[in-house]
Amino acid sequence: MRESVQAEVMMSFLVSEELSFRIPVELRYEVADPYAIRMTFHLPGDAPVTWAFGRELLLDGLNSPSGDGDVHIEPTEPEGLSDVHIRLQVGEDRALFRAGTAPLVAFLDRTDKLVPLGQEHTLSDFEDNLEEALGRILAEEQNAG
């Protein structure tokens, strides 16, 4: 059985109303952490930055505004299948990205084939693995920062 799914998508990093540039973003999903996806942003001149957040948050954000806190995802248009805005925030610092919906849907479809949505709990005892998963995420954030 495959243990992970990866994809690379191009996103627009929206610096301001007048300035944006395209960057590669690696999407990763692992069976070992079935509730989360990771996005690694490759910003020019900086070390890659990885964010981990719930797979359902990305799925929900394709259709309606989703996310409270550090990660917020919403469609750019209220009707129909449009691009999405992904806003990441740490304290007062924010970064806004625009991504096409199609590559995100394709990635989510591949994760669903690996672990169907709603079946994550069947893989392992979530409580036993929560501490380990949080430790890995914190270590990734410390290494990135």
Read off the pLDDT band of 119 (50, 70, 90): low
Read off the pLDDT band of 143 (50, 70, 90): confident
Domain extent, residue 61, equals 4-144
Contact between 70 and 89 under an 8 Å Cβ cutoff? The reply is yes
CATH number, position 91: 2.30.31.20
Give the count of domains, the chain: 1
CA 98 to chain centre: 12
User: Using one digit for the tens of pLDDT, what is the confidence trace for 55-80?
Assistant: 999 999 999 999 988 999 999 987 76
Q: How far apart are CA 50 and CA 73, in angstroms?
A: 16
Tell me how many degrees the CA angle 89-90-95 measures, rounded to the nearest 5.
Answer: 40
Residue 46 has pLDDT above 90, yes or no: no
pLDDT at 138: 77
Count of positions (residues) in the chain: 145
User: Using one digit for the tens of pLDDT, what is the confidence trace for 3-35?
Assistant: 899 999 999 999 998 999 999 999 999 988 899
Name the phi and psi angles at 115, rounded to 5. -140, 105
Mean pLDDT score across all residues of the chain:
86
pLDDT at 137: 75
